[in-house]
Copies of this chain bind each other. A is one copy, B any other.
C-alpha cells in the first residue's frame, strides 16, 4: 500500500501491463525518447523497445488508425494523445471504425485512447477541453474518467484488458496534485499489487440525505469542498463520483435521488450538450416521482475556454458556484 500520484498510478499500470502482456503497444507523440509531454512513459522505450513504444509522427488520425489496424491484428495498443483536444483529429477512426467494428461482426478492437483532459491553468481554448460530450453518443465505446490514483491505476488495467475501445480521460490537473492537498476521500491507498476497478460503478465520496451531487473528473474536488461548506450550514450533501461515463451507473444516481429528492449534476465540461443532460433526463423520466425540486445542472460556460486567469476562473464551475447552486436547491 502506498500513496502515489495520479500520474505515477497511470505510469505504473501501463508498465505492469506491458510486462504482463507483450501484445500491448504504446504509440503517441514524443512518448519514446522524451517520455511524453507529461512524462508518463519515461523510460518505457528503453525497457520495451522501439517496436512496442513508438514515437509517432505528428499525425493523430494516422497513428490512431495504425493502432486500430494493429488491434485488428492481435495487438492491444494504447494510444496517447498529447492533449485530449487533439482527439478530434481521429474522430472518424474512433467513432466510425473502432467503435462499430464489433457490431459489424468484424471482431473486437481492444484499444485504449489516453486523453489528458480538462483545464490546467491558462492553457486556453485548445488545451483545456473535456472530450466526453463528443463521444458520449457513440455506441461501442467506453469512457473512463478516474479522479483518484487508486481508480487511475485500477481502471487503466481494466481498460487495457477490455476488448472494446476505451477513451481513458486523464485529468492533467490531477497528474501531479500534491497528495496532501487532496480531500481525504480522494486519496485511498494504492495497492502495489495487481488490481482492477470495474467499469460502470460509481462511488459515494460522501454520504448525505438532503441533496444528491453527481459528478466526476476534476469537479469532484469542487464538489467535496462545497459539500463541506454546506455541511457547516446544516445541509447534508451526498457526493457521488461516477468514475466511468460509459457505461454509467444509472442505479447509483436513481438510488441517491430517491433518498434525497434533490439533484445537482456537475461537470467541468460545458453544460449544453454535456453528459449532465443525459443524467438529468434519465432522472426526469425514471425518478420523476421522487423529485422534490427542479433538477439543477452546473458546468462550464457556453464559451470557448478562455486563457487569461480572470476569464478562466469565470468560465469554470468552481466551489463557490457549486455551493450557491446547492444552497438554492436546499432552499427550494
The verdict on A137 contacting chain B, using a C-beta distance below 8 Å, is yes
In the complex, are the beta carbons of B134 and A303 less than 8 A apart? no
**Closest chain B residue to A332 by CB distance?**
B288
Residues from chain B with Cβ under 8 Å of A302 in the complex: 139
**Closest chain B residue to A137 by CB distance?**
B273
In the complex, are the beta carbons of B140 and A304 less than 8 A apart? yes
Of B133, B276, B277, B295, the contact of A288 (CB 8 Å cutoff): B295
The answer for the CA separation of A146 and B86 in the assembled complex, in Å, is 32
Binds B, one of A87-95, A149-157, A175-183, A213-221: A87-95
**Closest chain B residue to A274 by CB distance?**
B137
Interface size class of A (residues with CB under 8 A): 35 or more
Of B91, B96, B134, B295, the contact of A281 (CB 8 Å cutoff): B295
Of B99, B104, B270, B291, the contact of A137 (CB 8 Å cutoff): B270
- CB<8 Å pairs between A and B, sample of 29: A88-B91, A88-B95, A89-B91, A89-B92, A91-B91, A91-B134, A99-B304, A100-B125, A100-B304, A104-B125, A133-B137, A137-B269, A137-B270, A137-B274, A139-B270, A139-B303, A139-B304, A272-B278, A273-B275, A277-B278, A277-B280, A277-B281, A280-B281, A280-B284, A280-B285, A281-B297, A285-B295, A288-B294, A289-B294
Interface positions of A (Cβ within 8 A of B): 85, 88-89, 91-92, 95-96, 99-100, 103-104, 125-126, 133-134, 136-140, 269-270, 272-278, 280-281, 283-286, 288-289, 291, 293-297, 302-304
